[in-house]
Chain A
Amino acid sequence: MTAPAGLAGPVSAPAGLARPALRLRVAGYAFFLPFFVVFLVAVVAPLAYAIYLSFFQERMIGGTVFAGVANYTRAIGDALFGAGLLRVALFLVVQVPVMLLIALGCALAIDSGRLRWPSMFRITIFMPYAVPAVVSALMWGYMYGDQFGLVGQIGEGLGVAVPDLLSRSWMLSSIGNMVTWEFVGYNMIILYAALRAVPGELYEAAEMDGAGAIRIAWSIKLPALRPALLVATIFSIIGSFQLFNEPNILQKLAPAVIGTSYTPNMYAYNLAFNGQQINYSATVAVVLGVVTIIVAYAVQIITARREKTL
């Protein structure tokens, strides 16, 4: 669970009032019910069904039989799955910090009051978020590519040899650039919104004490941003582990580089569709979900612990 802790407390507390009447209870359930039905059908049921499927295997003879944890032991020893997980982990370790640092810098710059046209920057840097990942991948893919690629044209114009950005050694960085382009503005807006909520008196007090812009950023703004940064980090971690759209689109531009198991999600997809291994595909999806939740939790716990020692 990645939602920030401490949210589950009651919001309205009719303290001292009599026990709520039956009518109010019924109304509460009735208002909540439509959402909950959809939630059960769209979230709970698919998950439960995938977990159920992961305990069965399809045999040539005898049809579908209970398999215990056989699918899970297979997944743990699966080199293709492992390689995909390692790849997205590498992606995560490099791309997420780079993107969040850029987003942080932009948010601080826009909030600093020393930037010209701050709202123009805010809107334009956010704009790529509204572009579908498919369009972003197609666009960047063509710009990287050798047909009418912009990167090659610029290299030619300057007389420099540019590397093939869709080659094996560059592909992951190229995808990292696409994802950064799509989400840097979104994260910037989240951080900026958190900065706006800092009470103005804090800055005034700091200025009166003679603190400069950098000192204020370090001592007031960064601590105030910590919760929002954690939320942004966790959403980015989830996004990295679930990487699918960009590599799936680029596969058509570079089929030799991006195989069917390039990321765990692509692997699950190809197992279900091209391999017809429904049960094993469900297992891979479940394991991927569990790994994602463990890593997201670990980050949350480590951050909480560090905050306590500060």
Chain B
Amino acid sequence: MTAVAEANRTTAGHAARRSTKARRRGKSPTLTVIMLVMFAYAVLPLFWLLANASKNGGDLFSTFGLWFGGDFHLFANIGETLSYNHGIFVRWFGNSVLYSVVGAGGAALLATLGGYALAKYEFPGRKLLFAVVLGGISIPGTALAVPTYLLFSRVGIVDTPWAVLIPALCSPFGLYLMRVYAADAVPDSILESARIDGAGEFRIFRTIALRLLAPGFVTVLLFALVATWNNYFLPLIVLNSPDWFPLTVGLNQWNAQANSGTSGAGDATYSLILTGSLLSIVPLIIAFLGLQRFWQSGLATGSVKQ
């Protein structure tokens, strides 16, 4: 009764039904126009960002926001952003990649192992442990940020990458998703026959279960990636040295600079912020477009199964 399997199974029938229905009823122009308004709402701010990241300093203040300026300055702006202050933006970008790849990759792996254990192994305390983790889902990262800072400064790991990485490794929602997914994706009979053949438990996980769990793994990975790449509150408070900032905190620092009132320096910084913002959203948009079918079925698992 798990949703992914359910959704996959019904998709075919669904699509068939849909096409006959569409033929019978036809498309509604009114509905399409209303949705075009939503389309504009979603896309125009991003287009504004692209247009203004492509302007030189003068055009930014003198030309209309929803179109490009006199000369196309995007590549010059990118060059300036990457080299400004000895390439600090590149460093921030690298930090974001580090936190996201290690943090989200680790989170997905730990959630997969844990979810598989809860779904496929009987051990005392299993239900209690799962209930505790479910409680953890309801505690959002922002609520934990200040307590985490207080604890980590006591232990002495603030202002190190560990202060960002350790919380990033923990994804209770990922574990919940993987438990639901593993329950159906890995048939008990396969595990049993592997055991009869004498395979060890870890070997069974590595060679059989992991392959069956791959779609769930990618979903958890993608959402952990978003959470880490976009994280702001936690790195803002646990990091002091700009050398360890991720992009989000770095951009905020530039924004503070631009608005600090030291006139002259501010206006040039706006171009850096706009270009930096544009560069920072490109990786995730590519990831989401490229891995559509994974996250869509993954969300189905999380929301449909009640």
Binds B, one of A62-70, A73-81, A106-114, A168-176: A106-114
Q: Which residue of B lies closest to A156 (CB)?
A: B64
| Residue B196 is within 8 A (CB to CB) of chain A in the complex | no
| Residue A228 is within 8 A (CB to CB) of chain B in the complex | yes
Cβ A143 vs Cβ B25 within 8 A: no
Cβ A150 vs Cβ B65 within 8 A: yes
Cβ A245 vs Cβ B233 within 8 A: yes
Cβ A123 vs Cβ B114 within 8 A: no
Q: How many residues of B contact A (CB 8 A)?
A: 121
Cβ A115 vs Cβ B38 within 8 A: no
- A-chain residues with CB within 8 Å of residue B288 when the two chains form the complex: 126-127, 130
Number of interchain pairs (Cβ within 8 Å) = 339
Q: Which residue of A lies closest to B118 (CB)?
A: A32
| Residue A203 is within 8 A (CB to CB) of chain B in the complex | yes
Within 8 A of B (CB), among A27-46: 27-32, 34-36, 38-39, 41-43, 45-46
| Residue A98 is within 8 A (CB to CB) of chain B in the complex | no
Within 8 A of B (CB), among A86-130: 102, 106, 109-110, 112-117, 121, 123-130
Cβ B233 vs Cβ A132 within 8 A: no
Cβ A140 vs Cβ B32 within 8 A: no
Given the known interface contacts A11-B179, A285-B147, the answer about A193 and B65 at a Cβ–Cβ threshold of 8 Å is no
Cβ A238 vs Cβ B140 within 8 A: yes
Within 8 A of A (CB), among B77-134: 110-111, 113-114, 116-124, 126-127, 129-131, 133-134
Cβ B144 vs Cβ A47 within 8 A: yes
Cβ A46 vs Cβ B150 within 8 A: yes
Within 8 A of B (CB), among A1-52: 1-4, 6-8, 10-12, 14, 20, 23-25, 27-32, 34-36, 38-39, 41-43, 45-47, 49-50
Contact string, B133-164, partner A, CB cutoff 8 A, digits 1/0?
A: 11111111011111111110010000000000
Cβ B248 vs Cβ A124 within 8 A: no
Give bound CA distance, A35 to B118, whole Å: 11
Known: A265-B146, A268-B146; 7 extra A-B contacts, CB below 8 A, are: A28-B126, A34-B114, A42-B169, A147-B61, A148-B60, A245-B232, A249-B252
Which positions in A face B, CB cutoff 8 Å? 1-4, 6-8, 10-12, 14, 20, 23-25, 27-32, 34-36, 38-39, 41-43, 45-47, 49-50, 53, 102, 106, 109-110, 112-117, 121, 123-136, 138-140, 142-143, 147-150, 153, 157, 181, 184-185, 189-191, 193-194, 196-197, 199-200, 203-204, 207, 213, 227-228, 231-232, 238-239, 242, 244-245, 248-249, 252-253, 265, 268-269, 272-273, 278, 281-282, 285, 288-289, 292-293, 296
